[in-house]
């Protein structure tokens, strides 16, 4: 069934270290129209899982109708959720338009701020979490990371994307293709994709 194929791919693309997240130096929210990312970052900070936060994302393919850089939209949600969040503990990177630049530009701002980041919690919309992790490992010189996408399900995410007139199920095979081809371009680290996932992508 098509739904089964989509679920197989979605589960592979959405790794999470919950409920066993360990304290880190930084929470990083990766830009998208999915504003649950900002709320998840706020929740992780409230749980004292990291003292600092960084939002990264300009205006790109995943911005939909935000009408502003993704990182700035996230910051607005954060301040709405946590009005007392300290400004000096937040970096906003709003120039990047792809995942590699998300990380490169963010690392530059972290260095300029003098922050010592030895570990990070990465927060991305669920179906992008796997690629974000592999890009982080490739670009960040292997700063240890954990995954914490917003709690969700395939059904919820299909509905979220449909609100933006996007078909999430149709995007899933393309995400698997990126995981196969981007390592050859040096953009992400390689990963072994299980046969069941490759088969599901071919059939979806």
Is 81's pLDDT higher than 80?
Answer: yes
Q: What is the pTM of this model?
A: 0.96
pLDDT at 204: 87
Sign of CA dihedral 12, 18, 19, 24: positive
Q: How confident is the model at residue 174 (pLDDT cuts 50, 70, 90)?
A: very high
pLDDT at 67: 85
Q: How many whole angstroms separate alpha carbon 157 and alpha carbon 166? A: 11
What is the average pLDDT across 111-116?
97
Alpha-helix runs per DSSP H in the chain: 2-13, 36-46, 70-81, 99-113, 129-139, 154-162, 168-181, 195-203
Q: What's domain 2-203's architecture? A: 3-Layer(aba) Sandwich (3.40)
The pair of three-digit structure tokens given for residue 188, joined into one six-digit string = 């992400």
Q: What single DSSP character describes residue 47?
A: T
Is 61's pLDDT higher than 80?
Answer: no
Whether the Cβ atoms of residue 125 and residue 102 lie closer than 8 Å to each other:
no
Whether the Cβ atoms of residue 29 and residue 123 lie closer than 8 Å to each other:
yes
Q: Regarding predicted confidence, which is higher, 21 or 60?
A: 21
């Amino acid at each position: 069934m098509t739904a089964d194929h989509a679920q197989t791919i979605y589960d592979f693309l959405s790794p999470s270290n919950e409920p066993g997240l360990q304290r880190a130096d930084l929470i990083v929210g990766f830009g998208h129209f999915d504003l649950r990312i900002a709320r998840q970052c706020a929740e992780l900070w409230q749980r004292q899982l990291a003292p600092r936060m960084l939002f990264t994302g300009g205006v790109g393919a995943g911005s939909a109708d935000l009408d502003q850089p993704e990182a700035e939209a996230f910051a607005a949600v954060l301040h709405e959720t946590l009005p007392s969040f300290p400004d000096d503990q937040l970096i906003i990177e709003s120039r990047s338009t792809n995942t590699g630049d998300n990380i490169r530009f963010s690392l530059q701002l972290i260095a300029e701020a003098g922050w010592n980041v030895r570990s990070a919690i990465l927060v991305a919309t669920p179906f992008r979490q796997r690629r974000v992790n592999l890009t982080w490992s490739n670009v960040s010189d292997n700063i240890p990371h954990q995954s914490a996408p917003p709690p969700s399900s395939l059904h919820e995410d299909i509905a979220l994307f449909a609100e933006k007139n996007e078909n999430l199920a149709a995007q899933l095979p393309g995400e698997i293709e990126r995981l196969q081809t981007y390592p050859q371009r040096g953009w992400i680290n390689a990963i072994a994709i299980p046969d069941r996932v490759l088969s599901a992508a071919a059939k979806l």
